[in-house]
Structure 1
Amino acid sequence: MQIIRTMKNILSTLLLCFVLLGAHAARLDTVLVPSAAMQKAVKCVVIAPTGTAKLKNLQVIYLLNGYSGNHSDYAKHMGAYLKQQADAHHWIFVCPDGNNSWYWDSPIDRSFRYETFISDELPAYVDAHYHTLANRSGRAIAGLSMGGHGALFNAIRHPNVFGAVGSMSGGVDFRPFPANWDIAKRLGALDTATHNWDAYTVQEQVSQLKNGELAIIFDCGVKDFFHTVNHNLHERLLALGIDHDYIERPGEHNWDYWNNSISFQLLFFQHYFDKASKP
């Protein structure tokens, strides 16, 4: 009898665990997204809310990784939090592998067409495979470091695709770092391809923005090596009369900072989605 009672207790505990997990169990998948532009498939992590198949008009947040990272970074470092947010707000998070690309279509290497992938092929794939709100009012894009640059670069150039954009410790002006992060491999050397270095940096891209065209948030830690370029971008946007949220706080270029920053970015996107959904 004691054995039977013990077994019943074990089964009851297991059942309770399954119930609790089922009540909060956003799905995390790794998918291969085809890119016709690059003639290859790109690995992406997709975090989708519980009951995705039955939900409609899901909003999507694209998260871009930094240099030397990959599609799995966000899942490794903040996966539990993103799952909770996916379930709480019925959001989908999509994390593509950036492959040290800086998320451009490289003007000198035709095998790197990551702007086309991020702003065309990937949203088309996500909209075709999930019940998304398939327009700019249902899409936000953010990233950290190289990915912060990529998010701003793509959103500025494709405001018809993304309605809101965020950057955490973004490399928003890489011209002070001409020997770093394989940038010369994608743009050419700074001294011989100065036009590319100017044209492909966020600091110069913002000149084409119209005020109110994008909901913009970016931040950087005051001990980060990208702090100066982020502060300069803030000053440039003020001079251009472009509304934006800019935050400086204690921190360095690391996951301790980004794990804190992400909650502010997502709160900003929540406000954008709420505002965009109103008639």
Structure 2
Amino acid sequence: MAFLELNYYSQVLGMNQPMAAILPEQSGYTPDWTNDQLQDLPVLYLLHGMSGNQLDWQRKTEIERLLRQTKLAVIMPTTSLAWYTNTTYGLNYFDEFAKELPVKVASLFPQISKKREKHFVAGVSMGGYGAYKLAFATDYFAYAASLSGALIEDTNYPGFLEMEKPSYWRGIFGDLSRFPGSENDIFALAEKQAAKKETLPKLFNWVGQEDFLYEANQKAVSRLKKLGYDIDYHTNPGEHEWYYWSRRIEDVLKWLPINYQAEKRLS
């Protein structure tokens, strides 16, 4: 299993962007893998939350250990604090993720599959919002998972706006009164996608019962099911913390169609 840190130039953003990646390889853990078996690899994009970056998943979870015996590539990009969104201050992070990054990944890692059914995305908090947004607004991802995602219907959700100053939120989403129904409203995107009667992405959702986003996620799951989405929903005691997300990511790996091979924990 190889862990890589790299920088690439984003034409969309007009600046260098960091990215981390995990790639399966022949090693002492998997001596029976051949180069032919390490082609057309499924890929999971892991998205970070607020205050995080592309290294969160590697630093705060056991994602490398979990994947030592599984043929899955992982891409970990960063949106800084921009919510995977085309911001009003001119940085089009959504376009970078939805249009440019997949092409860049295909160029840098030709062993990664180009098939939609082998492309997955998952995220925590802000990244959960980003994962569903990318799944609903593009035809690139077949599976999307949200852990404690900010799956809000509007920006008046209790505690949401208090996380940052009003000027910050206007910089990200613009006029907040126009958020419902906009290109940043994941439910509007989900409705539009469902109306096309095309193959919908399969969804996974987990939220802790003590999380301030618990009610938002319950409503989101109900609304998405009514639209026809196949959503695997889970909840149990937990807060808005990496302590819980680091455990739930293995549930996501087991849910994905990747023949996940769990590594035994040391006793």
1:11 corresponding residue in structure 2: none
Percent identity at matched positions? Answer: 25
- 1:220·1:248 contact (CA, 8 Å) conserved in 2? yes
- For residues 146 and 267 of structure 1, the distance between their equivalents in structure 2, rounded to whole angstroms, comes to 23
**Cα distance in 1 for residues equivalent to 2:44 and 2:224:** 24
Cα deviation code 1:67-116 (max 9, x no counterpart): 011111111012xx32234332211111111211110112x2222x1111
**What is the CA-CA distance between 1:147 and the residue it aligns to?**
0.4
For residues 94-152 of structure 1, the C-alpha deviation after alignment (integer angstroms, 9 at most, x for no partner) is 1111211110112x2222x1111112211111111221111211210000000000010
Cα distance in 1 between the residues matched to 2:258 and 2:69 = 14
- Deviates most, 238-247 or 257-266: 238-247
| One-letter amino acid of the structure 2 residue matched with residue 50 of structure 1 | E
Query: Which residue of the other structure, out of 182, 188, 204, is the alignment partner of 2:188?
Result: 204
- Of 36, 52, 60, which residue of structure 2 is paired with 1:69? 52
Structure having the higher Rg: 1
| Alpha-carbon distance in 2 for matches of 1:166, 1:272 | 17
- Aligned residue pairs total 240
Instruction: Answer yes or no: is the 8 Å Cα contact 2:201–2:229 preserved in 1.
Output: no
> By how many angstroms is 1:204 displaced?
3.0
Q: What's the offset of the Cα at 1:183?
A: 2.5
User: With structure 1 as the length reference, what TM-score do the two structures score?
Assistant: 0.80
Q: Using a 3 Å threshold, how does the CA distance of structure 1 residues 243 and 69 change in structure 2: closer, same or farther? A: same
Contact 1:221 1:250 (8 Å CA) reproduced: yes
Taking structure 2 as the reference length, what is the TM-score of the superposition? 0.83
Q: Label 1:214 to 1:272 Cα distance change in 2 as closer, same or farther (>3 A).
A: farther
CA distance in 1 between partners of 2:52 and 2:175 (Å): 23
Give runs of aligned pairs for residues 151-190 of structure 1, distance below 5 A. Answer: 151-159=131-139, 161-173=140-152, 175=155, 176=157, 177-181=160-164, 182-190=168-176
| Of 18, 21, 44, the match for 2:19 | 44
- How far apart are residue 158 of structure 1 and its match? 0.6
| Partners of 1:263 and 1:42 in 2: CA distance | 28
Any conservation in 1 of the 2:204–2:232 contact (CA below 8 Å)?
yes
Q: Which residue of 2 aligns with 1:136?
A: 116
How big is the shift at 1:196? 3.3
Do 1:152 and 1:165's aligned partners in 2 also have CA atoms closer than 8 Å? yes
Which fold has the larger relative contact order, with Cα–Cα distance below 8 Å and residues 6 or more apart in sequence?
2
Measured against aligned partners, the alpha-carbon deviations of 1:203-259 in whole angstroms (never above 9, x if no partner) come to 332212337510111110010011111101011123223221111111000011101
CA distance in 1, matches of 2:232, 2:106: 28
User: Greater helix share, 1 or 2?
Assistant: 1
CA-based RMSD:
2.1
Task: Give me the whole-angstrom Cα distance separating, in 1, the residues matched to 2:243 and 2:7.
Answer: 29
